[in-house]
Amino acid sequence: MKLLSLGVSLIGLTLLAGCERPPVDTVQRGYRGTGMEQVYNPRTLAQQASLNAAPEALPAAPTDGPKARDVFQNVKVLGDVSVAQFTRTMAAMTAWVAPQQGCVYCHDPQNFADDKLYTKVVARRMLQMTQTINADWNSHVGATGVTCYTCHRGQNVPQEVWFKPPPQPRANAFAGDRAGQNAPATTVGLTSLPVDPYTPFLLDAEPIRVQGEQALPGANRQSTKQAEWTYGLMVHMSSALGVNCTQCHNTRAFGSWENSSPPRLTAWQGIRMARSLNREFMVPLTDTFPAHRHGPTGDVAKVNCATCHLGAHKPLYGAPMAKDFPELQSKGAATPAAPAASVSATAVPVKADDTKVALRQP
């Protein structure tokens, strides 16, 4: 009898191990009576706070005086700012991205103007990417904006990036590729969903849908596999932001825009922003990065929601770092025009119903 009691107790403890220890906090995200609540664990939030603390900004630099392009050589992005602003930005970037290596992480100490280090070429494009986010994607980042620190957090490579996984053929070649299914991975919350929800949606522009728009078999192309990719992306977004489905959706009608909370539109823009950044900035740098910085299929590291958010519903809990660096808030003359294939940052839903969201281009 004692052994039975002990066994029952152990089973109970095992089951409770997956539960949140009270007390927990809840916040209503939607209309009253809908149960759209976010559940937060204060202890978890306290642990995350240190990971999402913004560093103090360097003292402001004067905007007058000679321009950087007139004093330094080979300045292609920040040439229009003052020398003081330029050197301040370089010092900040060093602290944000390479605090251990210092300036020589990107520069040849014998010739700072030389572009022979790939890190310098990449850093220049990342500056342009930061400017593009702040200038063109206000629909997602708002007035908070981003800096290099938003993603890098003092590391050469951001903690959260992704590569395409290698093919996973089945034992019987006739059965095709496993598509990453039934191989539990942290990218999809240790579920059996496809482990790569990023390529279809954050690189390619596959429809993010669970249901087709028509009932007829010949017209409904939303397969079970496509639905699972969609669920995989939703699991990633939930984990990346530290929220559950009700951050954006009314669980009574997941597809309904009329019943969704405002963050759904912000997330909709964020998906398109990540896709645009991967296409316009990251993928074109593939040949610039050395082989050891490539993924298993030879692709370059790319961004997803976790790259900026790192478990917080707003990166760095909304710390407005960009306001202290006006030179990062507008695009310089050297920034290339976006290719025609990219999605405009100002596109907005014009049909908010259960079927689809059309785009209105400016």
Domains of the chain: 160-309 (1.10.468.10)
Q: Mean pLDDT of all residues in the chain?
A: 81
Known binding residues for heme: 90, 103, 106-107, 126, 140, 148, 151-152, 234, 245, 248-249, 305, 308-309
3-state secondary structure of 289: coil
Known binding residues: 90, 103, 106-107, 126, 140, 148, 151-152, 234, 245, 248-249, 305, 308-309
Least confident of 238-252, 293-307, 315-329: 238-252
Give yes or no for residue 353 having a pLDDT over 60: no
Helical residues (DSSP H) of the chain, grouped into ranges: 2-16, 42-49, 68-71, 83-97, 118-136, 138-141, 148-152, 198, 224-241, 263-277, 305-309
Share of the chain above pLDDT 90, in %: 49
Handedness of CA 9, 15, 21, 22 (dihedral sign): negative
Q: What value does the mean pLDDT take over residues 176-192?
A: 73
> Which amino acid makes up residue 159?
Q
Report DSSP letters for 7-73, one per residue: HHHHHHHHHHTTSPPSP-EEEE-SSTTS--EEEE-HHHHHHHHGGGPPPPPPPP--S-SSBHHHHSS
At 33, the pLDDT band (50, 70, 90 cuts) reads low
Nearest to 161 by CA among 172, 171, 151, 176: 151
Which is more confident, 357 or 77? 77
pLDDT recorded at residue 101: 95
Model-level pTM?
0.81
Token readout for 142 is 């708002």
List, for residues 226-284, the tens digit of each pLDDT value: 888 898 999 999 989 988 888 888 878 888 888 888 899 999 999 999 999 999 999 99
List, for residues 122-134, the tens digit of each pLDDT value: 999 999 999 999 9
Most confidently modeled range among 86-90, 203-207, 333-337: 86-90
